[in-house]
Structure 1
Amino acid sequence: MSDAEPGLRERKRLATRLAIQQAALAIAASDGLGAVTVDEISRRADISPRTFFNYFPSKEQALLGDDPTLPADEQLDVFVGGGPSGDLLRDVGVLLVHSTQALIDERGLISERQEVLRANPELFSRRMASMKEFQHEIETAVARRLEAGEPDPEVRRRQARLASIVALGALRHAWWEWSEQDGETRLVDELEQSFADLGALVSRSLV
């Protein structure tokens, strides 16, 4: 299962990060993208512009929110080395859980962000580009893991790309399931469940 609840300091950091995103999206939704400025976001979030830049490099990134990224630490090394379970899809799921734990899972942000993205195609394009970059990260990690057992680089490339696409599909499934609920279920828990369901489906197809 996912890690323990964050401490007080981390909860305050997440609350500030959430407030910045909520302010940015509210301005864009009510007044348009041109009205979104760092000063106005900071005013509504009750922080200083200097504090804003401690959390986001630009107003556009505050609108888009956190980009998912793979952990650049021991979890990635364990995955590339063939762990933690030895099952590729299950281990990709573990890796994405580590990535998702760093994201803010506030249901209210989803509909607000989708509305702003629909009204501003340039932001939507940036979101798609960030997800494509994340897919490439997954593909690269899987290809590195496959090096130990697959000598053909073309086969590794094809398999790694397929695994990355499947992984993002499971992540999207988790987001949908989580966003449609009203309970206390966390996004990371839904992601774990989506990969468990995926594993069950794959196993069923083999019998």
Structure 2
Amino acid sequence: MGLRERKKQATRRALQEAAARLTLERGLEHVTVEEIAAEADVSTRTFFNYFATKEEALLGDVPSAPDEEARRIFAEGGPTGGFVDDLITLLTASLISAEGLAAHREAMRLRKQLMEREPQLLPGMLARFHNMEQELSRAVAERTGASPEDARPQLVAATAMAVTRHTVKCLHFAEGEGVADVRAVLRDAFRHVGDAYSPPND
């Protein structure tokens, strides 16, 4: 990643964290875009280069739809060939990258508080999960050779997103927490879902 891109990511992250801090201090209705920009030490015009609204800045970048390369690898049967492990890899990449988990730790912790204190943000977050679910459903259909309209890829994607929401709730975003912890929570959640719906032993 070049210097220019790193600077853009740093500015985006600074705006997200400034929006979260000010909103937690004052409440969403009492924070303006101008104040968020000033807190991040950028102009209002710069704010609008990154976000259309303060709500968009508060929601941040998680979850995001899988990038094209990660989606292609999954759809083609990779990276390991094991469906659940590959799905976990795809979901982890959508939640946060290895570098981003450390870089965004404070922002993620603040966002978790925001969802509890500012429930009007929840529809926007749920819309993001819905968009990601649609992308996952298409990727699962492509990998399995099913039609995107079939029930199986849609149910797999819906379950995966429920597991992802559960994971976000379970993570503490503590200093020692890493990508391996994210994957462990995802894997445990999928196992619990499988156990709950597996046929009872005779």
TM range (shorter): 0.7 to 0.9
Structure 1 residues 57 and 174, CA gap change in structure 2 (3 angstroms): same
Q: Which residue of 2 aligns with 1:158?
A: 151
RMSD between aligned residues: 3.3
Alignment equivalent of 1:101, drawn from 62, 81, 96: 96
Q: Given residue 98 of structure 1, which amino acid in structure 2 is its aligned partner?
A: A
TM-score (norm 2): 0.75
Name the amino acid aligned to 1:190: D
| Match in the other structure for 2:77 | 82
Cα deviation, residue 196, structure 1: 4.3
For residues 75-129 of structure 1, give each alpha carbon's deviation from its aligned partner in whole angstroms, at most 9, with x where no partner exists: 2122112222222221111212322335954444345334433444432111112
Aligned ranges 1:180-191 → 2 under 5 Å: 182-186=174-178, 188-191=179-182
Whether the aligned pair in 2 keeps the contact of 1:170 and 1:191 (CA below 8 Å) is no
- Identity in percent: 34
Structure 1 66/84 Cα, relative in aligned 2: closer, same or farther at 3 Å? Answer: same
Distance 2:141 2:16 in 1: 35
Compared with structure 1, are the counterparts of its residues 104 and 122 closer, same or farther at alpha carbon in structure 2 (3 Å cutoff)?
A: farther
Structure 1 distance, partners of 2:190, 2:76, is 20
Q: 2:134 aligns with which of 114, 133, 136?
A: 136
CA contact (8 A) 1:175 1:190 kept: no
1:19 aligns with 2:14: yes
Distance 1:83 1:115, change over 3 A: closer
In structure 2, the CA distance between the partners of 1:40 and 1:198, relative to structure 1 (3 Å rule), is closer
In the other structure, the counterpart of 1:3 is: none
- The Cα shift of 1:135 comes to 1.4
- Give the unaligned 5+ runs of structure 2: none
Distance 2:131 2:166 in 1: 19
Query: How many aligned residue pairs are there?
Result: 194
Please report the TM-score for the alignment, with normalisation by the length of structure 1: 0.74
